[in-house]
Amino acid sequence: MKTMLFFLLALCCFSLKGQITSTQIKNELAGKEWKIIKYETFGVEAEPKPEQVNDKLTLNKDMTFFIVEDGKEYFGNWVIQSEAYINCKSKTGEWSRQYKVISIAEKTATIEYKDPDLTRILYRLELK
């Protein structure tokens, strides 16, 4: 019984440690320009297509953003919806995304977007 309790406690601690916090997003992801270097869909990682070569993400500390996606530019505001989730909405309201932050390291990050068809797209980011 003690062994089972120990494993459950260890599992809880491990899963909590893996969570990205709003503080991490504000301190480590925001205020930097991130270039999208890889896209992953259905477990297959790919280089950016020609129209995606200049794609990037900038979450400013003043809660505004600038995103280039498939060569199109979007400006607007972002908020942290809950731990590890970022909502971005363009100023015109025509474009919005909810990203889940999977990981943040010193010079790299990974975020996830699920499109309306629930296709999971991972964006591999690198500091520009």
pTM over 0.75: yes
CATH of the domain at 115: 2.40.128.280
Evaluate whether residue 25 is within a structural domain. yes
What per-residue confidence (pLDDT) applies to 5? 38
pLDDT tens digits, 24-54: 999 999 999 999 999 999 999 999 999 999 9
pLDDT tens digits, 57-84: 999 999 999 999 999 999 999 999 988 9
- How many angstroms from the chain centroid is the CA of residue 30? 11
Evaluate whether residue 37 is within a structural domain. yes
Evaluate whether residue 119 is within a structural domain. yes
Evaluate whether residue 4 is within a structural domain. no
Structural domain count, the chain: 1
Domain ranges, residue 34: 21-127
Evaluate whether residue 87 is within a structural domain. yes
Evaluate whether residue 51 is within a structural domain. yes
